[in-house]
Structures are given as structure tokens and as C-alpha cells.
Amino acid sequence: MYTNQTRRSCEIVEMFGKCVYLVLFLLNVSGFPQKNVAHEETEPQSYKLYSRADWGAKLSTDERPLKTPVPYVIIHHTAIPLACNTTEECMADMRSMQSYHQGLGWGDIGYNFCIGNDGSAYEGRGWRWIGIHAGKANSLSVGICLIGDWRVDEPPAAMLQTAKELIRDGIMRGVISPSYRLMGHGQVMSTECPGTRLLNEISTWNNYWPGQFDSSHHAHLVKEYSSIRLCECGGELLILAVAKCRHNNSAMLMLVLPVFSAIMLGVFAVPPPTLASIDPEENEVITYDFPFVSRAGWQARTPTKRAPLSVPVEYVVLHHSYTPAACSDRAGCARAMRSMQDFHMDDRGWCDVGYNFGVGGDGVAYEGRGWDTLGAHALHFNTVSLGICIIGDWTDSLPPAEQLKTVKALIEAGISQGYIKPDYKIVGHRQVRDTKCPGQALFEEIKTWPHYSKYPASPDDLVDMKLVKVAS
Ligand SMILES: [Zn+2]
Ligand SMILES: [Zn+2]
């Protein structure tokens, strides 16, 4: 009896140790647990949004990507007494504003979105591109124009409601920071816009900021993640580790949960990383000293969801594509990016191509999920790393020098923009997952790079891939 009890407590202690170890490991590599929302339906859009194609927009000649999430939402009016009442009138207004703004050399309509009296929204530059509507706030904001003159008249309730819905939607998409500041155009520049009546109205809304625009504010802003809905995107469920324990011994759960909660409290008590290292003026135009093609350039599909990546990251995980095979020109590499995206979205059911970037044999870096979106490329490692896919099969041969040079330049750009820690570690995919990726030849090559890191490099890394496999 005594012996049995002892053995039983030993088993419990052993199980306890294993579980804490697992939880610690997963926390170590995941940062915080992700909600499993793979089966969660996207909330129906509560307002009508007409796309650029719907209103007959001309092509934009000014597509500079907005660095998201932005800390500001700027509200405008058009100051033209007659607001549009029907879809046809609003679409005509959109076309004439675009012509006018293009005539000013702006390349496109200035606003990100406009809203008509009917409560419908009209896509201007949309969620992805920097607008021209509020001077130095352009690259830090989404600009929403309520079509009409709102100095004296009150905008219709449907129009105001849509403005609020649009902002909410922007937060859900990760484009607008949950701690955004809402302002009228006149708080950024000397203008009557958006009209006294409309300004009075928005001053009662959530997140209204009564002061002047302060371009240094961004430096104090913290990125917030907890209130943004995470997409599955290859994410892992931390709770799995606890579920495993419960399966084996229900008493274990009682032991693990308090520890688990304490750890979680600790995790959330740690402030999220700041953007202090990022200069806002730098994101006016992102230029790289190596060839770079944005998503539009390889005709990427729109992601179904996105989740922010906590930056700067500590790891860069290098992959090869295996298939598609190596590509050597723009058309071939763009095709390779599209085929990887199709595979990840259609066959794997992910919300986008898994990698943050692809690099082709043409020496061009192709934007995948980009710098600040959570990738799906390395189990348990997605939340702490950027994943770069070196397109091709590098089992027996090395990528062209130009391709590797661009990989290095891309990492340098990530450091200088504050997305990668200067003392980052490089690992090959095979070090964190049971896979041959990134190919034997390429793996031998990256072992010679200065930031290459053995993984696990120290007991702090707490990694035992056998345990991980048990958990997953
Ligand atoms: Zn304005
Ligand atoms: Zn890989």
C-alpha cells in the first residue's frame, strides 16, 4: 500500500514535471497562446462596401504599402454642399475626386475610404496603401472621408454608423491599432475639415483624441495583440499540452492549472514590444538596396485573415521550397510564389502563403506575409520568427550567389526597420521540425553564417523535439 502510494506520487511528480516542461517549452517558443479560431466564421460585414472596380476606379500609380497597424484614423469631409444620396451619385463623386486628385499628381484618390449619405462605403486606397489626405499623418493613418459639407448640417446616422463599422473592421483586420487615436483633419493641418458639426460628433466616439497630431506619438505606442482576433494560419494550441496531461491523470490538471495561470499572468504582465526603434518618416516610401517585389507585383491573392507578429523577432527560419523548383526570372519566380500561395490556401486551408518572404533565383525578394504578420512556416516557431523561403530544391546544390546575397540583405533590412533583433539567430527549418528543409547543401551553407545558431543552443531553449511531437 505504502509502496503503491509512493509510486503513484512519483508518477504524479514525474507527470507534473513533464507537463510543466511542455508548457514552459511551448510558452518559450509561442510567446502566448493562440486562440483556435480556425472554424470561427468571419463576422458578416454590417455595411455595404463598394470596391474600386464597382465604382470604376482608374489604376493607381501610387502604391506605397501602409505599415500596419496604424496608430491614427483621420476623418474628413468634402466641404461640397451636396452630399451624394444614391449609389450612382456617390460612385460619380468617387470618380470625379479620383480625377481631381490624379490631376494634382497624387496618383490616386487621396482617401482610404469614403462614405455616402446612403451609409455605403466606397474603397479609395483601401486598407493596404498609404493615402494622401493629411500630410505627415498619411503613412500613420487611415483616412476616411464622409462625403458632404458637415460644418453646419449633421451627417445622417447611417453614414456615421458606417464610419464606426469601418474603423472596427480595420482593427479586426490588423490595419488599425486597437489603441488608435481618432482625429479630424484639422487636428493635423490647418483646415476647417471635417467641419464643426462632424468634429463635435466624432469627439464623442471611442478613441477620440482631442489634441494635435504628434508624429512622435508613434514612438511611445505599443503594438497590441491581445484584442486582435488571431487567425489560425498554422498556429498551435498551447492548451493541447494541458489536455494531454488531463488525459493521463486528472490530478495533474489540478497541479498544472495554477502554475499555468501564474505563467500566463507573468506573460501578460510583460509589456509588448514598443515601436521605438521605427522611424515613422521612413515608412513614407520603403526603398531597399536590393530588388523587392510587393504582393501586388506577383499578383498575390488577398489573405482571408491576418494576425500580427510580435516584433522584433529573435529568430529567422530559413526554408527551401523543394517544389516549386528554382526560378531564374521575374515571371517564373512570381509564378512560384503564386503556386505556393495556392497550395497553402487551397490545400492546407491557411489564410495566406505561409512564408513571410520568398527569395528567387533572380535575386529578388518577394513579399509573402511581410514583416509584421504572423507566418505559418515552422511549427511552434511562427510567433517568434520570420520565415524566408529560398525558392528551389537545395538538397544537392547551392542557390545562386545572387539569391543568397538578397536573403542576407533582406535580413539586414528587417533589422534596420526594427522587425528583427540585431542579435537575431538563424536556424534552418530542420532544427525546429522533423523535416529535410532547407536541404542538406543549403543547410551546410547557412551553418557558416555569423548568426547561425545551434538549436537548442542552451538549456534556456528547453527543447526536446520528442516531447514536442508528443504534444502536437
Ligand atoms: Zn480633410
Ligand atoms: Zn521549411
Ligand 1 centroid – CA 185 distance (Å): 5
Ligand 1 centroid – CA 53 distance (Å): 24
Cβ proximity of 134 and 141 under 8 Å: yes
Q: What is the pLDDT of residues 12-52, one digit of tens each?
A: 444 544 444 444 444 433 333 333 333 333 345 789 999 99
CA nearest neighbour of 142 among 133, 150, 151: 133
Q: What is the CA radius of gyration of the chain?
A: 25
Least confident of 16-20, 125-129, 193-197, 224-228: 224-228
pLDDT band of residue 381 (cuts 50, 70, 90) is confident
User: Is residue 249 over pLDDT 60?
Assistant: no
Ligand 2 centroid – CA 164 distance (Å): 41
User: Is residue 104 over pLDDT 80?
Assistant: yes
Note if the pTM is more than 0.85: no
Ligand found nearest the CA of 190: 1
Ligand found nearest the CA of 354: 2
- The residue type at 400: P
Q: What is the pLDDT of residues 294-341, one digit of tens each?
A: 999 999 999 998 889 999 999 999 999 999 999 999 999 999 999 999
User: Is residue 174 over pLDDT 90?
Assistant: no
Ligand found nearest the CA of 193: 1
Q: What is the pLDDT of residues 409-433, one digit of tens each?
A: 999 999 998 999 999 999 999 988 7
Q: For residue 260, what pLDDT is reported? A: 42
Ligand 2 centroid – CA 256 distance (Å): 33
pLDDT band of residue 442 (cuts 50, 70, 90) is very high
Q: List the shell of residues around ion ligand 1, using CB closer than 5 Å.
A: 76, 185, 193
Q: What number is the average pLDDT over the span 257-266? A: 41
User: Is residue 88 over pLDDT 50?
Assistant: yes
| Entry field: residues in the chain | 472
Ligand 2 centroid – CA 460 distance (Å): 24
**Grid coordinates given for 255:** 497541479
Per-residue burial over 443-460, b if 16 or more Cβ lie within 10 Å, else e, is bebbeeeebbbebeeeee
CA distance 274 to 221: 6
Ligand found nearest the CA of 390: 2
Q: For residue 44, what pLDDT is reported? A: 57
User: Is residue 183 over pLDDT 80?
Assistant: yes
Q: For residue 78, what pLDDT is reported? A: 92
Q: What number is the average pLDDT over the span 141-156? A: 96
Ligand 2 centroid – CA 67 distance (Å): 27
| Statement: 280-471 belongs to CATH 3.40.80.10 | yes
CA distance 145 to 74: 8
Ligand found nearest the CA of 150: 1
Ligand 1 centroid – CA 306 distance (Å): 30
SS3 content of the chain, % helix, strand, coil (to 5): 40, 15, 45
Ligand 2 centroid – CA 273 distance (Å): 27
Ligand 2 centroid – CA 123 distance (Å): 37
Ligand 1 centroid – CA 114 distance (Å): 11
Question: How crowded is the C-beta side of 438, counted as CA atoms within 13 Å?
Answer: 29
Ligand 2 centroid – CA 387 distance (Å): 8
Q: What number is the average pLDDT over the span 286-293? A: 84
Average pLDDT of the chain, as a whole number:
78
CATH number of 49-220: 3.40.80.10
Ligand 1 centroid – CA 150 distance (Å): 11
- The residue type at 447: K
Ligand 1 centroid – CA 432 distance (Å): 50
